[in-house]
Structure 1
Amino acid sequence: MRGPQLPRRGLFALVAAGAAGLVASPATAAPRVTVVQVGGELSAIAVNPVTGLVYAADSTAGSISVLDPTAGKVVAVLTVGGAPSGLAVDTTANRIYAANPPGGTVLAIDGATHRTLSVINAGAGASAVAVDPDAQLAYAVSNSAGTFAILDTVSLTQRTLLPAPKPGLAGVAVDTGRRRAYCTSPDTDSVEICDLGAGKFTGSVAVGAGPTGIAVHQQSGTVFVANSGIHHLSIVDGVNGTEVKTVLLGSEASSVAVHQGTETVYTNGGQNGLSRVDGQAGTLSGELGLGINPGEVAVDEQTRAVYVTDPLHGTVTIVRDF
């Protein structure tokens, strides 16, 4: 579902940085935290398990910074133009996809050379992107135009552009096995379901206020939704298309990531930091105060390191053992 687990270049060498405000279930080690100065207004983050590199988009500079967690620093800056606002990694082809709303495009970037391979038309205002490596497809949604683009990752062209059933879409996640895409609609407080086999939207699920970030646990089909207008995380049964539970958080959340192996969910819905949710039990299992304004969240499927952007200060915080 996520492509082959290829060898990594090394383990993270992280420096503890006194994480304050920790409330967590018993663990073998305290969380280890380090901060990498990136700069700019960070709008998206993604981990590439093929190379071990991390990508952080800067929407103001029109660039993507490449972080080497082993070295704990930025090793390259890719100038892509526009205002990149969404990132996704194709682990099979070793490519990074970046949504660029001003151009209505998605950039395909080679994960080895960091060369831009193609600029794909993805519909006006395309702002978020997800990839299905097995199907060799990518999906981009637009909040401004309310469209859902299906992109061919072999020919690097647009295959289909569907109108969304609701005014605008903010986030997208794909259940690769069940061939469904889930799109958040903040204006209507709902998640819209697209049947990828049929090529059309087939359902809608009412969730919390202002849903934005979304992630899918591939094995169970459970969908986790970060609601930016209310202090809870919505848990949706993707198979039946119903909200089955909500988890109270310390603050509103806008980003969510799930570790596939453990169904551990991480979100920026903690006060000045992270919240951790047991996805199977549907309960809050830990909070970690980082003293930052938490933005986008990503998790490394191999090491379980969690990455959190701070858009106000241009930093990426790396958290391990949490």
Structure 2
Amino acid sequence: MASKQAVDRRDEDEVCPVCKSSRYLNPNMRFLINPECYHKMCESCVDRIFSSGPSNCPVAGCRKTLRKNRFRAQTFEDIGVEREVDIRRRVMHILNRREEEFDTKRNYDDFLEQREEMIANLVSRIDVAKTEAQLKQYALENEQSIRANQALEEQEATSFQARMTLEQEEAQRRRQIARQEYENERRELQAGREDFLTRLAAGTSADAGTIAREGSKVHLKKSSARRSEEERIRQKQAALRGSETKRGGASTPAAAGPADSGLIKGLRKIKTPEPEKPYDPFMGFVPEKRDYFTLQESYPSSFLERQRQNQMASAGGYDLREYYSRTLLEAFAGLGVFVGDEVSKRDAEKVSPPAATEGAAMVAGNEK
């Protein structure tokens, strides 16, 4: 309670550095900050100074140019924390490499350490110009990969939100089912007791044991069926969670971009896929292509020229190119055959008979 009163008293003591108005005199005063310099001023001063366009910060000693659209309400009580959160968000928005883009886990850890070091430099105002230049150069060289990773992050956030909503709906549905089952069980138990008492009142003392045993059997059967149904639902939910985990854990292909940049080391090399070749229904086979000759449309020959002009020769659909193709194929058919090698091989086979023939001759000589 005392801490709350201290916070409220500090809020009342807040004074605008421009117009010197205090929250104590104006409880509805709203203070705004600008990420350029993080100087706090009231909303009325922001409207009065920056409505006509960009202007310098009115706080003494600050010469940064501010714009009205950059002013926003303060989220954290400490301005230092507010500034660090903004810097961290901006740097991680640019250096948004994912673990699957690196060759090893060590390279990814080095990248995280490098990113934290740059954030610390900006927060502590150490080598600010150099760090800002590195971030700007990296953003220009890796614009495509940055956008691809941002799209993946948005997709993951949307999927996570949808999964959380689905889990909440499932939990609410399970609670309703459990409540309904409890009501049904209570009604069945009450009806069973009434039936038990009715049968006891209508029967004799000898039937009391039999009626009690029947009632316990019915109760055990219902309990066993309920436990079996609960176990079946639990197994089904576990299987669904396992399938969702496998889909979510599938490796995401690395975004397109340079394999290695000047700022980040250890990135996995990206293999550019080969362009898909046009579809070939003959699988590389060309009907008119030959190894030793190329078929032409016509060849100079007085006899063939007369046949070409003869309409009776082509009336049945005969094409003179078939004659050209067959003749040239027969002419070049022996180019791949080496007769000398075949003759020497044949003579060698005649000089040295096969082993089976020699064995048969030896057997015949022994029999004689």
TM-score by length of 2: 0.16
- Name the structure where helix makes up a greater proportion of residues: 2
> Of the two, which has the highest radius of gyration?
2
Larger RCO, structures 1/2 (Cα 8 Å, 6+ apart): 1
TM-score by length of 1: 0.17
